């Protein structure tokens, strides 16, 4: 896939930085001193600045550009929809919106027929929580400490990491520990032990909180920002069994893990489990137009046949977003992009990362699947002490200088290129990681 490069002479890096520092207030940042990389264009797995400097995008930006930058079919679909109808309110029947919903449910499990569209992943979580509470008449939502679900009211409190702490504005959230064998909370030594003990812990939390108070268990099918924590075999099925035992709904957050990222349409497809509600965003259209949503099981949807659903958004099912979803899913199907993500993870990306771990002591663990991987960086392999933040920042700087955009979180480098990444691009990225790790070790 290729597209023509824009005229980089129409802007400058200096101008982009100047206006950005003057007028843009950035998320998760202290504003003073920000000096961000200007990006002027992109194609496939590559982005460039106004001076023509190029980078392999092994972050997929926010782990959302699954189909790659500027896929021509998706761009054409947005253009075509804009020519016909650029926007319409949600209280209408719109064919483009309906077609997008039909494309999505075609990849969901049996028993899912309806989609509620949102503006992104965080408000997808908000509305899944709303649906669960209304359906069950209960209040509490259980979610893991190692999680990220978004930065709106309930989504950020459902999030387990530090970002929830200055944002505790929502009620009824309780956290528990999910499986993470490398840093086990359960003194486990095998995946089987980790799975069994994590499930025991979850059931005890359910019992201690009172099953009759709990509306839903909310999990990322594969926790993403928390570290690409692929659950051990049997864990998600075990959570489903606990939920069923106590009459609790299961919400699976597929915002980051869905639509090809794990080499499957949904990450949970590989775990023999059927949720009650599925949230999505990001990869459904690679973020070309903001969109997200909740795929609603028929049982829950029927509860609102004669009951008003008390939620709505001005841009729910926006036609430009819907057109981009249709084109993205159609392209993923016709170009076998999801299958490619699975294959390149097995044959190229995973082996490259494991090879790096064999040669660099700072890599404590490699984990992942598809195009969804993490390198956990350590100061000492024996103690597993995390690599200090300053060292991780130095590695990030080195990667950018050598032409690769990384996704860095805490003591990890997440290796998350678009699903369309080629074998040659994986090899080139491997060389860059290798050079940067070697230079870092030599400098210590």
- DSSP-derived letter for residue 369 is E
Q: What is the DSSP string of 323-362?
A: HHHHHHHHHHHHTTHHHHHHHHIIIIIHHHHHHHHHH-TT
pLDDT in tens, the chain (444 residues): 333 444 444 689 999 999 999 999 999 899 998 889 999 999 999 999 999 999 999 999 999 999 999 999 999 999 999 999 999 999 999 999 999 999 999 999 999 999 999 999 999 999 999 999 999 999 999 999 999 998 877 888 888 888 888 877 778 999 999 999 999 999 999 999 999 999 999 999 999 999 999 999 999 999 999 999 999 999 999 999 999 999 999 999 999 999 999 999 999 999 999 999 999 999 999 999 999 999 999 999 999 999 999 999 999 999 999 999 999 999 999 999 999 999 999 999 999 999 999 999 999 999 999 999 999 999 999 999 999 999 999 999 999 999 999 999 999 999 999 999 999 999 999 999 999 999 999 998
pTM of the full predicted structure?
0.95
Choose among 341, 334, 327: nearest CA to 371.
341
Torsion over CA: 273, 277, 281, 285 (sign): positive
Bridge partners (DSSP) listed for residue 253: 220, 279
264: left (phi over 0), alpha (psi -120 to 50) or beta: beta
Domains of the chain with bracketed CATH: 8-70+336-443 (3.90.1150.10), 72-334 (3.40.640.10)
Cα–Cα distance measured from residue 53 to residue 43, given in angstroms and rounded to the nearest whole number: 13
User: Residue 392 has which token pair?
Assistant: 């991780």
């Amino acid at each position: 896939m290729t597209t023509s490069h824009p005229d980089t002479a129409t802007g400058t890096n200096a101008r982009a930085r100047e206006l950005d520092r003057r007028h843009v207030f950035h998320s998760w940042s202290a504003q003073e001193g920000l000096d961000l990389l200007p990006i002027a264009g992109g194609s496939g797995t590559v982005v460039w600045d106004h001076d023509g400097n190029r980078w392999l995008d092994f972050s997929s930006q926010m782990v959302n550009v699954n189909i790659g930058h500027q896929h021509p079919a998706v761009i054409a679909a947005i253009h075509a929809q804009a020519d016909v109808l650029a926007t319409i309110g949600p209280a209408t029947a719109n064919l483009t919106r309906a077609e997008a919903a039909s494309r999505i449910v075609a990849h969901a499990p049996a028993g899912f027929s309806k989609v509620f569209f949102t503006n992104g992943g965080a408000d997808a979580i908000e509305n899944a929580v709303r649906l669960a509470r209304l359906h069950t008449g209960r209040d509490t939502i259980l979610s893991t400490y190692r999680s990220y679900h978004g930065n709106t009211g309930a989504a950020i409190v459902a999030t387990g990491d530090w970002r929830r702490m200055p944002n505790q504005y929502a009620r009824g959230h309780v956290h528990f520990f999910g499986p993470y064998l490398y840093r086990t909370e359960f003194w486990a030594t095998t995946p089987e032990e980790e799975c069994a003990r994590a499930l025991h812990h979850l059931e005890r939390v359910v019992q201690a909180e009172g099953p009759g108070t709990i509306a839903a268990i909310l999990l990322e099918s594969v926790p993403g920002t928390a570290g690409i924590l692929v659950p051990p075999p049997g864990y998600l099925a075990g959570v489903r069994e606990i939920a069923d035992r106590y009459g609790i709904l299961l919400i699976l957050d597929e915002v980051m893990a869905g639509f090809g990222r794990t080499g499957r349409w949904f990450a949970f497809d590989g775990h023999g489990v059927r949720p009650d509600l599925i949230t999505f965003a990001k990869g459904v259209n690679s973020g070309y137009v903001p969109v997200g949503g909740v795929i609603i099981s028929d049982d829950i949807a029927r509860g609102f046949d004669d009951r008003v659903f008390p939620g709505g958004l001005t841009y729910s099912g926006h036609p430009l977003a819907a057109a981009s979803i249709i084109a993205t899913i159609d392209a993923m199907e016709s170009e076998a992009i999801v299958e490619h993500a699975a294959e390149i993870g097995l044959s190229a990306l995973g082996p490259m990362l494991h090879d790096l771990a064999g040669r660099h002591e700072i890599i404590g663990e490699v984990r992942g699947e598809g195009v969804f991987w993490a390198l956990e960086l350590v100061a000492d392999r024996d103690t597993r002490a995390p690599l200090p933040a300053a060292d991780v920042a130095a590695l990030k700087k080195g990667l950018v200088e050598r032409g690769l955009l990384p996704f860095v979180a805490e003591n990890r480098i997440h290796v998350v290129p678009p699903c369309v990444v080629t074998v040659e691009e994986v090899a080139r990225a491997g060389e860059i990681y290798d050079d940067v790790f070697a230079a870092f070790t030599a400098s210590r």
